[in-house]
Amino acid sequence: MAASTQEKPPEQVAQALVDFTLRGAFPEDAVSSLTIGAGELVPAIEALAEAKSNLQAEIHAINEETASDVNSWQANAKRVQDDILRSKALANDILKQADTPDVSGKRLQDIEAKADFLVRELNYNQQVQQALQGIKAVNQTLDQVERARDDRRILDALHLLEKSWTQLDEIPVSKSCRAIRLLDIRAFELKTDVHEVFDHVWNALVHVDVEHGSVSIRDTAEDEPMNLEDAVIGLKAYKEVDKRMQELWHDIDQAVIAPRMDISKVSLPAIRVTGGLLQTDGTADKTIKSLFTDLELIFRFLLENLPADLVESISSIMMPEVTTRITSVWLDSAVPASLKEMEEFQEVITVAREFCNTLKSLHLTGLGELQEWVDSAPRVWLGKCRESALDSVRSKLAEGLGQSKQVEKVEKQMVSRMEGKDLTSKAAIADVEDHGWDEAWPDVDEETEIPKSSKPSTDLLQPAAGEDDGTDAWGWNDDDANAEEKHEEGHGEKKDDDDDPTAAWGWGDDAQAEEATEATPAPSSKLAANQDQQATRELTLRETYYISSMPEPVLALILAIIEDGAALTQEGYENSPVTAAAAGLFSLPTLALAMFRAVSPHYYASDMGGSMYLYNDANYMAERLADFAAAWQERTDISTRARNMLRLDNDIKSMQSFATRAYSNEMNTQKIVLRDLLGGEQKHSGLSVPYFYSHALIGEQNLMQQDETESCIVSAAARVRSMAVTWENILARSVWYQAIGSLVDTISSKIITDVMELPAIGQDEAYDIAKMIATVTELDDLFLPSRFQQQGAGKRTEESDEVPTTAQYASTWLRLKYLSEVLQSNLRDLRYLWMESELSFYFAVDEILELIRLSFEDNPRTREVIREITHNPHPRQEEAQEEGQEAW
């Protein structure tokens, strides 16, 4: 026993004590049975001390590593312990208060408030728990969306996105919460990512190659789990059905439809459909039937390959645009402007109607414009005729006046014997043809030329009273004030007959004819006049004038339109699709003539004599239309309906009125220019002058009181000669004489008026005025009969023997000449002019007396002459009556 104890080292005892202390392990029997002495305790105590140190070091290290957690747990534990203590204290207080009935009201309120607080705390904790659970669920759903996106399961991804938005809405937290905002941002980004994937899949199913002109539509694509029906659901989910179909139509239009419908190209591509591929291939002709065939292929391809929802959306965008192009480009270009191509047009209508029915059978909408075109073919054709007619008039006018052409005006009139003699006694202007003149009028033959100014008008140029001119519809405003100018002559007012546009042919009333000749007295015997009036014969008046190149094409257009209208009333066109447009064709001449009246002044104004050409052209067109209307009623090759539908009377009157207005406006303009050259019209004249001459109207503008009177006279005369040369190769003789005579009369009237208004006339001033009058009277050479005589037409009258006819066309011409004589005469000569000559025919007593007072001093001789003239206001009246009786 002692031997075994000695053999056991002390470390075994120490280790057994340490193991028991640390782990509670019992030593083996051999060790536990040993007797422990003092020698074994020392090592055992040292081993226990070392184990203690190691254990403390390990605990210290662990404490350092878990210090924060321990502190947190300690703090939490402390708070929990504090809460428990507060709860216990609160519970004890409640129990005490319950055991104590005498509690104040304020104490009860505090207790209730604390109870409510606890309830709210519990509810808040529950809401926080629900919010955390909702956030976790949304996050998990979005994770599923990501997996569906990566797998290209678009519909699943969209459904999950929709589920996540629903879950977000159900979370009982404000949207401003950071966690909610982060989830919302993540959901939006995932939606964008899914949309990009959807675009890729959609382009794989529906692909349009604009460059190569092909359209591919497939129900499924390789390696893509989504089909076309699923794509429709995706479009609806993104609310992009209309937008996507508009983009698809735009691409299809650029790739296929627009190239096929571009009629301006030389060659057009044909359309070919192979399986799910639509493309342009080869070439097609430009017939409308071929176009409709290709369009039908395109529409059927879309109907067969696109889902119904997409077809409905794309057709609402596509069909209105396509039908507009068909009608406005292809069908309208096929509408003929006349009946010559009516068979081809009828075929076009038939093909268009069949195509419209085909589209209806395909259940396509938006055919309103095409259907309306098919149903209203007569109106469409009539509209094309109207457009073509108006455009033709515009284009012809835009070409300019062109080469002038000489035409002849022929008019037949029934005149009496007295009128016939009077006509033959006038100056040579117009040719006359004899129609049964008897021996009572031997001085009239086929070669006699007469002035038309001596014959009353047959109202050829005079518009009817109260007539509504067709040009009013084009916004024309007639300047009646210019056509009704009045000027003051001497001390009395007299209407300016030259402003009357109907005087263009020199046909005025009897009073005007008398002013153009030497005061013809009235007949003394009415019986002789009645006898002369009863003996009538037909007289043919002929005159030549010039027109531009514009009237002929306009007239040809109008006549062709009328002939087409008449043809539509014949039996051969009873089955024509445009038969109903016959009445409308007969209204087109009115529009064409209105267009001519509306725009022609602009084009004619560019020529020096444009206004007079316009006057001639309008009159020529009116004459031709009148002749055509008369011949139309005599035709037997047209139907009664066509004969009754032609109504050109108002158009003819409108053209005549337009012609007179053109003449009147030109004359007014030229007169204003002359008055401006002569120093301007006087302030009290009452004439309306355009603004660009208003500078000449400031104050009194007496020609005789200006510094450059002679220069003004020369300029005015030169202006008249310039217009005479310009109009000589345009106007008829009678019109030319009338127009130039009116300009000459403007100058003479101005001079007479200004001389009569002078405060005094000295001898030198009188001779200067007479000299200027002599310059003006040189215009007589414009009115010599030989001016219009052609070489070889007969023996030409020597110029020295010729008598100018100026006085016939300028009513104040002889008055001006006598004024010159008065200014150069002494009292004796002046008395002779009044008593023996014809001065009393052109000046009134008051005017002569005023001139005497202005020119002569007040002395007995002057007073004697004044008294003698006063007592003889009409010294040659009896002689004139006798001459008149002899003339009758």
Q: pLDDT tens for residues 100-131? A: 655 556 777 887 888 888 888 888 777 777 77
Per-residue pLDDT band for 671 (boundaries 50, 70, 90) equals very high
**Mean pLDDT lowest among 274-283, 517-526, 626-635, 838-847:** 517-526
- The pLDDT value recorded for residue 53 is 83
Please give the single-letter amino acid code of residue 719: R
More confident residue, 175 or 432: 175
**For the chain, how far is it from start to end, CA to CA, in angstroms?**
204
- The pLDDT value recorded for residue 512 is 35
Please, what is the average pLDDT of the chain? 75
Contact in structure between 404 and 547 (CB atoms under 8 Å): yes
Q: What is the mean pLDDT of residues 530-536?
A: 56
Angle between helices 551-568 and 588-604 (to 10 degrees): 170
- The pLDDT value recorded for residue 66 is 64
Please give the single-letter amino acid code of residue 200: H
**Residue boundaries of the structural domains of the chain:** 2-65, 131-201, 240-375, 682-887
- Number of neighbouring beta carbons within 10 Å of residue 666: 20
Angle between helices 610-634 and 649-677 (to 10 degrees): 160
Tell me how far apart the alpha carbons of residues 424 and 446 are, in angstroms, rounded to a whole number: 11
DSSP 376-398: THHHHHHHHHHHHHHHHHHHHHH
Write the CB contacts of 431 (distance below 8 Å, at least 6 apart in sequence).
Answer: 446, 447, 448, 449, 541, 542, 543
Contact in structure between 449 and 429 (CB atoms under 8 Å): yes
Q: Which of 861, 761, 738 is nearest to 819 (CA)?
A: 761
- Number of neighbouring beta carbons within 10 Å of residue 432: 21
Per-residue pLDDT band for 548 (boundaries 50, 70, 90) equals very high
Tell me how far apart the alpha carbons of residues 268 and 598 are, in angstroms, rounded to a whole number: 42
Tell me how far apart the alpha carbons of residues 472 and 598 are, in angstroms, rounded to a whole number: 9
**Mean pLDDT lowest among 13-22, 293-302, 372-381:** 13-22
Contact in structure between 103 and 143 (CB atoms under 8 Å): no
**Which residue's structure tokens are 């002679």?**
710
Q: DSSP 3-state assignment of 276?
A: coil
- The pLDDT value recorded for residue 443 is 36
- pLDDT of 235 over the 80 cut: no
Tell me how far apart the alpha carbons of residues 131 and 114 are, in angstroms, rounded to a whole number: 25
- The pLDDT value recorded for residue 825 is 87
Structure tokens at 7: 């053999």
Alpha-helical segments (H) within 177-257 = 178-205, 228-238, 241-252
Distances (CA, A) of 132 to 122, 128, 173: 15, 6, 10
**Mean pLDDT lowest among 39-43, 247-251, 325-329, 707-711:** 39-43
Per-residue pLDDT band for 634 (boundaries 50, 70, 90) equals confident
Contact in structure between 257 and 296 (CB atoms under 8 Å): no
Q: Which of 384, 383, 379, 390 is nearest to 558 (CA)?
A: 390
Strand runs labelled E in 610-702: none
Tell me how far apart the alpha carbons of residues 655 and 462 are, in angstroms, rounded to a whole number: 11
pLDDT in tens, 552-570: 999 999 999 888 888 888 8
pLDDT in tens, 261-278: 888 888 889 988 887 888
Tell me how far apart the alpha carbons of residues 61 and 55 are, in angstroms, rounded to a whole number: 10
> Between vectors from CA 386 to CA 381 and to CA 390, what angle results, nearest 5°?
150
pTM (two decimals): 0.63
Contact in structure between 241 and 235 (CB atoms under 8 Å): yes
- The pLDDT value recorded for residue 800 is 54
More confident residue, 451 or 701: 701
Tell me how far apart the alpha carbons of residues 203 and 198 are, in angstroms, rounded to a whole number: 9
Q: DSSP 3-state assignment of 3?
A: helix
Strand partners, 806: none
- The pLDDT value recorded for residue 717 is 92
- pLDDT of 808 over the 80 cut: yes
- What percentage of the chain carries pLDDT values higher than 70? 74
- pLDDT of 693 over the 60 cut: no
Q: What is the mean pLDDT of residues 277-302?
A: 89
- pLDDT of 886 over the 70 cut: no
Burial 669-704 (b: 16+ CB within 10 A, else e): ebbbbbbbbbbbbbeebebebeeeeeebbeeebbbb
- pLDDT of 790 over the 70 cut: no
- pLDDT of 69 over the 80 cut: no
- pLDDT of 487 over the 50 cut: no
Distances (CA, A) of 394 to 387, 397, 476, 538, 553: 11, 5, 18, 41, 11
CATH 1.10.357.150 fits 682-887, yes or no: yes
- The pLDDT value recorded for residue 576 is 74
- pLDDT of 618 over the 80 cut: yes
- The pLDDT value recorded for residue 89 is 82
Contact in structure between 209 and 235 (CB atoms under 8 Å): no
